[in-house]
Amino acid sequence: MRVLGINAIFHDPAAALVTDGAIVAAAEEERFTRRKHGKRPVPFSGWELPENAARWCLEETGLEPGDLDAVAYSYDPALVEPGLDGHDAHWERLRTLYALRAPNFLSTALPGLDPGIVRYVPHHVAHAASAALAAPGPGDGDVLVLDGRGESHSHLAGTYEGGDLTSLYAQRLPHSLGLMFEDLTEHLGFLRSSDEYKVMALASYGEPRFLHELREYVAATGDGGFRVAPIDWGSLVKARRPGGEWTRDHADVAASAQARLEEVLLDLASWLHGETGSRRLMLAGGVALNCVANSRLAEAGPYDDIWVQPAAGDAGTALGAALHVARDGGDPLTAMPGAGLGRRWDDHEIAGRLDTAKIPYERPDDLAAVVAGALARNEIVAWFQGPSEFGPRALGHRSLLAHPGYAGNIERLNDVKGREQFRPIAPMVALGHAPGIFEGPMPSPYMLFVHRVKPEWRARIPAVVHVDGTARIQTVDAGDEPLVARLLEEFRRRTGVPVLVNTSLNTAGRPMVDDPRDALECFGSAPVDLLAIGPYVVRREGVDAR
Catalytic center residues: 11
> Which residues, in sequence order, are bridge partners of residue 227?
219
Burial 361-397 (b: 16+ CB within 10 A, else e): beeeeebbbbbbbbbbeebbbbbbbbbbbbbbbbbbb
Map residue 53 onto helix, strand or coil.
helix
Spatial contact of 79 and 58, defined as CB atoms under 8 Å apart: no
CA 483 from centre of chain: 23
Identify which of 341, 376, 392 has the alpha carbon closest to the alpha carbon of residue 501: 376
Spatial contact of 56 and 343, defined as CB atoms under 8 Å apart: yes
Instruction: State how far the Cα of 148 lies from the Cα of 292, in Å rounded to an integer.
Output: 18
Instruction: State how far the Cα of 418 lies from the Cα of 539, in Å rounded to an integer.
Output: 22
Burial 235-265 (b: 16+ CB within 10 A, else e): ebbeebeeeeebeeebbbbbbbbbbbbbbbb
Instruction: State how far the Cα of 546 lies from the Cα of 544, in Å rounded to an integer.
Output: 6
Q: What is the CA radius of gyration of the chain?
A: 23
Q: In what order do the strands lie in the sheet with 398-402?
A: 474-476, 426-430, 499-504, 398-402, 381-384, 530-533, 536-539
- The torsion defined by the Cα of 69, 155, 335 and 290, in degrees rounded to 10, comes to 130
Length of the chain: 546
> Which residues, in sequence order, are bridge partners of residue 342?
none
Spatial contact of 315 and 74, defined as CB atoms under 8 Å apart: no
Q: What are the CB-based long-range contacts (under 8 Å, 24+) for 211-220?
A: 211/256, 211/259, 211/260, 213/256, 214/256, 214/257, 214/259, 214/260, 215/260, 215/263, 218/177, 218/180, 218/260, 218/261, 218/264, 219/264, 220/264, 220/267, 220/268, 220/271
For 218-364, where are the E strands, in sequence order? 218-220, 226-228, 280-284, 305-308
Strand 14-19 and strand 118-120: the pairing is: unpaired
For residue 116, report the phi and psi dihedrals to the nearest 5 degrees: -70, -10
For residue 388, report the phi and psi dihedrals to the nearest 5 degrees: -70, 155
Spatial contact of 324 and 330, defined as CB atoms under 8 Å apart: no
Instruction: State how far the Cα of 30 lies from the Cα of 314, in Å rounded to an integer.
Output: 13
Q: Residue 443 has what DSSP assignment?
A: -
Half-sphere exposure in the Cβ direction for 525 (13 Å, CA): 14
